[in-house]
Amino acid sequence: MTSTPDAASTDAASAARRLLIVGPPGAGKGTQAVRIAEELSIPAISTGDIFRANVSGRTELGVLAKSYMDKGEYVPDSVTNDMVRSRLAQEDARDGFLLDGYPRTLDQVEALDAVLEELGTSLDLVLLLVVEPEEVIGRLVARGAELGRSDDTEETIRHRLDVYAEQTAPLIDVYQRRGLVRRVDGMAAIDEVTASLREALAAR
């Protein structure tokens, strides 16, 4: 159940509406992104959703992306960047958005900067969910066993965490230098994390 917005979230709605949420696999970004976006009446935009929408809708970008995926190849950044550019230009994102899963690399940070400049706007805040790697591994391994997910083995989870540390840590440093990063304890209970994110938004 989504928590009832309070005064802090109301203040945040007028202060910060162009947001990015980051954190390692298992940090709960998707859950929190949906909650915060609903409270601020802005779309939660994940790269997974963008890809699925383009592929299922057979857009020009979706057909191009699928051609790479069908061959087992990575979709080039240029295609992903164009998908994000198209999504952020849609009417529902005009007054704000919450990005989840993009940007993932320094090159994508530059691409997002260019897209936002084209739209005449910029990021207001970067919400960083901080978690303990070993606790995340335990959490995801347990989830994998419960749901029968073959991709949630300890080996694959450690690899995903290594990739996150290698690719995303520099990204966080960039936004830290811009004074945009707000750190929140992602290991707390779900409602407590949501409350902390509200406070981070209101304190901007």
Count other C-beta atoms under 10 Å from residue 126's C-beta: 22
- CA 10 – CA 188 distance, rounded (Å): 23
- Give me the amino acid identity at 126: V
Question: Given this model, what pLDDT does residue 7 score?
Answer: 46
Q: Give me the mean pLDDT over the 3-17 stretch.
A: 51
Which CATH architecture does the domain made up of 7-202 adopt?
A: 3-Layer(aba) Sandwich (3.40)
Question: Given this model, what pLDDT does residue 15 score?
Answer: 55
pTM: predicted TM-score of the whole model, two decimal places: 0.86
- CA 194 – CA 166 distance, rounded (Å): 27
Of the given ranges (15-19, 104-108, 194-198, 199-203), which has the lowest mean pLDDT?
A: 15-19
Q: Which long-range contacts (CB under 8 A, 24 or more apart) does 74-77 make?
A: 75/51, 77/105, 77/107, 77/108, 77/111
Of the candidates 130, 196, 115, 197, which has an alpha carbon nearest to the alpha carbon of residue 164? 130
Q: Which residue has the higher pLDDT, 1 or 165?
A: 165
Q: Give me the mean pLDDT over the 114-123 stretch.
A: 95
Active site residues: 29, 104, 143, 149, 160
- Percent of the chain surpassing pLDDT 90: 67
Q: For residue range 36-77, list pLDDT tens digits in order.
A: 999 999 999 998 899 899 999 999 999 999 998 888 787 889
Helices 29-40 and 7-15: crossing angle, nearest 10°?
A: 80
